[in-house]
Structure 1
């Protein structure tokens, strides 16, 4: 049975409100998840800047470089440089923002889906693992075509939601 102060902001037995402790715990869990995701994507995308931009674009597709800079807290010049690299790599796409009036229409950016991102990285990871497995051949200056590691990625079925 719930007590009256579990649903309000009055202090609990251990100090602070029950609601405050629950909200604080939830915020901490989200922060840890965000940090872990940024760390993983930093490994995949090479830099934390690129990882933060990718995450922002997955949450806010069709954003301009200025909107990304504002949303991530990164310098606009840093964002523009990283977006150019991400576009060259095929990790993000861009198109001109449509506007009814005359003037300079900025580019809008969209990040590829996580499944496409993983599929793009798999070949590199597979090659690096095979190099490790064939290290004796490399050190002995022998050539080997052995590929003991093969990684395959299944893409979502056509029409399946890909919002994660």
Structure 2
């Protein structure tokens, strides 16, 4: 009579079988690698955007006096017709800080406001919109020009002369973007014409 005896499997065979059962298929591995790659790219893009935003805010902080006002300006350029509460939610600033800054920016003409239209009765809040960057720059140019001329006339002032006698050699002008593009095109055309003339001259010399 024969009896079924348990067959001892080699421990290495058992480990290999268990490992095989948990191994990912090539498709699963590829998907996992793609997911990790997308996460890395996303993190890099987020850092790039944050760096860009931070640089813009730093520059605008100089133009608008504070980082708070700069962040509000950037938010309103990206989200026009926002209420003060929406600006506070979008920027993470305190609502009272936002309201105070918006009032100042409105008084200075940096932001415009209108009552939000609502179908029902009730309180219709103001919605705000920031002026164009070109208008912002032109508004700052006059102040910068005065300050630079004051520095230019420093020795005159230290000598006790009246500021009324100051000269104003510093002149800052802001041209229209379309005009600048046209000027650049004219300059490029002029350079091309000059280059053609030089080529023609060289060819005649060779003859």
TM-score, shorter chain, exceeding 0.5? yes
Q: CA contact under 8 A between 2:80 and 2:129: conserved in structure 1?
A: yes
Q: CA deviation at 1:8?
A: 5.4
TM-score (norm 2): 0.67
SS of the equivalent of 2:33 reads coil
2:171 maps to: 150
Q: CA contact under 8 A between 1:126 and 1:151: conserved in structure 2?
A: yes
CA distance 1:9–1:40, change in 2 (3 Å): farther
Query: Runs of 5+ in structure 1 lacking a partner?
Result: 158-164
Pick the structure with more helix per residue. 2
Could you say which structure has the larger radius of gyration? 2
Q: CA contact under 8 A between 1:42 and 1:48: conserved in structure 2?
A: yes
Inter-partner Cα distance in structure 1 for 2:166 and 2:44 = 52
1:10 maps to: 33
Q: CA deviation at 1:112?
A: 0.2
CA distance 1:8–1:46, change in 2 (3 Å): farther
Inter-partner Cα distance in structure 2 for 1:139 and 1:91 = 35
Query: Runs of 5+ in structure 2 lacking a partner?
Result: 1-26, 179-207
Q: Which digits, 9 at most, give the CA deviation of each residue in 1:67-86, with x for residues without a partner?
A: 00111111110000000000
1:41 aligns with 2:60: yes
2:117 maps to: 98
Q: CA deviation at 1:47?
A: 0.8
1:20 maps to: 39
CA distance 1:149–1:80, change in 2 (3 Å): same
CA distance 1:102–1:133, change in 2 (3 Å): same
Root-mean-square deviation (CA, aligned residues, Å) is 2.0
1:121 aligns with 2:140: yes
Q: Which digits, 9 at most, give the CA deviation of each residue in 1:14-38, with x for residues without a partner?
A: xx93333332222222111111110
Q: CA contact under 8 A between 1:69 and 1:79: conserved in structure 2?
A: yes
Inter-partner Cα distance in structure 2 for 1:8 and 1:119 = 52
